[in-house]
Amino acid sequence: MIDPTQLRDYFTGLQARIVAAVEAIEGPEGRKFRADSWQKAAGEPLAGNGRTCIVEGGRVFERGGVAFSQVSGSALPASATAARPELAGRAFEATGVSLVLHPESPYCPTAHMNVRALVATRPDAEPAWWFGGGMDLTPYYPFAEDIRHFHGTCKQALLPFGGDTHARYKKWCDEYFFLKHRKEPRGVGGVFFDDLNEGGFERCFALTQAVGDAFTEAYLPIIAKRRGLPYGERERDFQAYRRGRYVEFNLVWDRGTLFGLQSGGRTESILMSLPPIVKWRYDWQPEVGTPEATLYELLEPRDWV
């Protein structure tokens, strides 16, 4: 049984818990999140409401956003029906939380997490529903033990849902967060799933909750460990260069970004994922043996746990 109130209560609660945990990392002298509540009236391309929590210029996080939204529309956008043409023309309601956190320190990785539920309806058929989401890590100067911690936490979260679930979702993540035009991964992966409806609503909802609930343990201990490391302009420059890859992926390949923009979503909330300082260079390659070159070696998918 699909319960919209149950979905909303979980996702709003998750947003509040993550915001509180990130503010604790910022500390008493750090930045608090600014909450921006918004509403789209019926009759617009997309109706609904949401709450976007943004931190900018913090002690630890240069920019971060944790967004909740619950929106509906009269027809699914093309990005959602490309692989499932039988759903074209259905009305829909999408509920979820999406976040991206960009620390200032180049030694602290960027993290992304998204968990969502979508219900598609039409008068002459049963509702179609599915869940999607995941989390992934994008380091600039990677530490192997941090990557192992992140992947290990993801694996533990998915163990109750089958021994092969983590391996499948890790592989899916490696394949999804790949810049086809660059022929390189965006980061070191994590887990990713979409169109999840196997095993019934309660199982799928529980799996989605397990992923959402695991995020703070997977990511924030890494920030606590690395945020105090000294760095200079070289490291910041390389971080800005690699952030360009992040922008390219989100604007060219990311399904969530395309869904939001195509369905008439709130642009500011959709593009909160973009970092504040980015650089591009023409045909640049790191020198062999440098810490920057090490990043490219560790981007190749592997079994981290």
Where does residue 178 rank: exposed (0-12), middle (13-18), buried (19+ CB within 10 A)?
A: middle
CA dist., res. 144 & res. 295, Å (int): 10
Number of helices (H) and strands (E), helices first, in the chain? 9, 9
Residue 130: other Cβ atoms inside 10 A: 20
Q: Let me know if 112 is a catalytic residue.
A: yes
Strand partners, 136: 112, 190
CA dist., res. 266 & res. 106, Å (int): 30
In the set 102, 112, 149, 151, the catalytic residue is: 112
- Which residues are the active-site residues? 112
